[in-house]
Structure 1
Amino acid sequence: MPLLSFPRLPLGSFALTLALIASSGPALAADAPASQPWRDARQLVLVVTEGWDATDATLQRFELRDGRWQAAAAAAPVSVGRHGSAWGLGLHPAQAQGPQKQEGDGRAPAGVFTLGEAFGYADKADTAMPYRAMQATSYCIDVPDSPLYNRIIDTRTEGEVAAKGSTEPMRLDLHNKGDVRYREGLVIGHNPKATPRAGSCIFAHLWRTPGEPTAGCTAMAAETMDGVLRWLRPDARPVFVLLPRAEYARLAHDWQLPEAVR
């Protein structure tokens, strides 16, 4: 979700930390707890921030090879919500400690999530993921009381009234003076049951300017997004993981995530 520009915080040495993620970390394979809904994932997009209030982060892709997570690309800088991150609703168990994602809080949802369809301004994209070309009539509904909450709709089929109150036109270029942010993107599967006021319309999308925080999405350079889109395969059951570094260190073993080497 795009919003105003805020200053970048320094990444410090954390980019180097993620660049050294070990290929010997535990795998999401047969030894993963049966209760983990993401135990069959063979691709993982990992975003780690410096803390709950950090707006800068690092993104790295991993794939399961020979039963272990191995880096599929170098780490790249991304930005998250203008107020940082908070626990979202996804595949992971509920977490009592830490902020909880709410509609309009300016925080990116933390946890483990499915990756849904790709979308963009073009008629097609270089990706194996399901792709939806956005139209001037495409909106994501961020109105908590709407029966279409947290869904992308087309007013040509749903009617103009369905988008009443929505602040998320999906053709930002047409509605916001050529805005490029939704030129390429991916739906992050936060709040799949559309729990009212738990947060909506969470995407991975392009930066408008490098390092600009968002209203709750994860934003990145075009080359980073292009690499993610080309790499993703639906049959690999890809997941998106966003965590502050302290929570990542606490949960990496139990959640069978790649383990960072310090």
Structure 2
Amino acid sequence: MSRAPRPALRGLLPRLARAALLALAAAALPAHAAGPLQEARQLVLVLTADWDAPRGTLYRYERGSADAPWRQVGAFEVEIGRNGSAWGIGLHAPEDQDGGLVKREGDGRSPAGVFALGPAFGYAPGAATALPYLAMEASHYCMDVPDSPLYNRIVDAREVGRDAVAGSTEPMRLDLHKDGDPRYARGLVIAHNPDHIPGAGSCIFAHLRRRAGEATAGCTAMDAADMDGLLAWLDPAAQPRLVLLPRAQARRLAAAWGLPEVAR
């Protein structure tokens, strides 16, 4: 991920993509009292050593029903924000936050909390995934300018106009803008800050590593093989969720959120 990430809607990409992301986020709103993972049957759990750690372990879990136990189906190492993590805006209740910073634009931290996932995106016309997919072209940008009315959205300059994307440092075809950069060749949106609150952080993705060990500006980066497995596994019908937390916070919230044993 390049600068600071942000959720992608091709809001101004076809209506289907917008509807798909809104549906995923809306479906992800069980009552907080019942826990933010209440309806989820797929869980992407990223655990780090502490708030300032720039890397961690990603665990994949699934279950057959909302009241069944979680079953681990994979794990691998990932990089996150170069400065670690901070509380983001997602599906968890504000009162769940205890300690740690709050995510801000350009802080180099990945958002912590519970988030909906999707759509997927990439350089190719399609991908092997059940998630809605957005094919990126040279005219697509994710808006990281807090005072833009398009903040925290993926837009097409051919539709919104070149002036509307002025100032964005987040082209979605990094390979064309940054000498073959592979990071956005395949990825998916982490739905942080779905109401596009200015300055709260934008364009948060899971994407490919540029090189091993390189932290991000706030996204979660992984090897291509791990991304391919994740995309092939994710199923919108299973209401997949991402949880990113330092291990101490995961232990504190494990019972309230219904996290699997590894977090306890």
Question: What is the TM-score normalised by the length of structure 1?
Answer: 0.86
What residue number does 1:25 align with?
none
More helix by share: 2
Alpha-carbon distance change, 150 to 110 in structure 1, aligned in 2, over 3 angstroms: same
Instruction: Give 1:261 shift.
Output: 7.4
Looking at structure 2, the residues matched to 251 and 192 of structure 1 have their Cα atoms a distance apart, in angstroms, of 23
- Any residues of structure 2 matched to 1:140-155 within 5 Å, and which? 140-155=142-157
Letter in 1 for 2:112: A
Structure 2: unaligned runs, 5 residues or longer: 4-30
Instruction: Give 1:65 shift.
Output: 3.2
What residue number does 1:259 align with?
261
Task: Give yes or no for the alignment of 1:207 onto 2:206.
Answer: no
Looking at structure 1, the residues matched to 48 and 131 of structure 2 have their Cα atoms a distance apart, in angstroms, of 26
- Listed one character per residue, the Cα deviations across residues 125-168 of structure 1 (whole Å, up to 9, x for unaligned) are 00000000000000000000111100000011111111111010
Question: What is the TM-score normalised by the length of structure 2?
Answer: 0.85
What residue number does 2:229 align with?
227
Looking at structure 1, the residues matched to 107 and 69 of structure 2 have their Cα atoms a distance apart, in angstroms, of 36
What residue number does 1:162 align with?
164
Looking at structure 2, the residues matched to 240 and 128 of structure 1 have their Cα atoms a distance apart, in angstroms, of 17
Counting aligned pairs with the same residue, the percent is 61
Task: Classify the secondary structure of the residue corresponding to 1:260.
Answer: helix
Letter in 1 for 2:58: L
Looking at structure 2, the residues matched to 144 and 121 of structure 1 have their Cα atoms a distance apart, in angstroms, of 26
Looking at structure 1, the residues matched to 119 and 182 of structure 2 have their Cα atoms a distance apart, in angstroms, of 18
Coordinate RMSD, CA, aligned:
1.5
Tell me whether 216-225 or 37-46 shows the greater mean CA deviation: 37-46
In the alignment, is the contact (CA less than 8 A) between 2:36 and 2:257 conserved in 1?
no
Looking at structure 2, the residues matched to 108 and 137 of structure 1 have their Cα atoms a distance apart, in angstroms, of 26
Letter in 1 for 2:236: P
Counting matched residue pairs gives 233
What residue number does 1:71 align with?
72
- Listed one character per residue, the Cα deviations across residues 170-215 of structure 1 (whole Å, up to 9, x for unaligned) are 0000000000000000000000001110000000000000121000
In the alignment, is the contact (CA less than 8 A) between 1:253 and 1:259 conserved in 2?
no
What residue number does 1:92 align with?
92
Looking at structure 2, the residues matched to 137 and 260 of structure 1 have their Cα atoms a distance apart, in angstroms, of 42
Task: Classify the secondary structure of the residue corresponding to 2:62.
Answer: strand
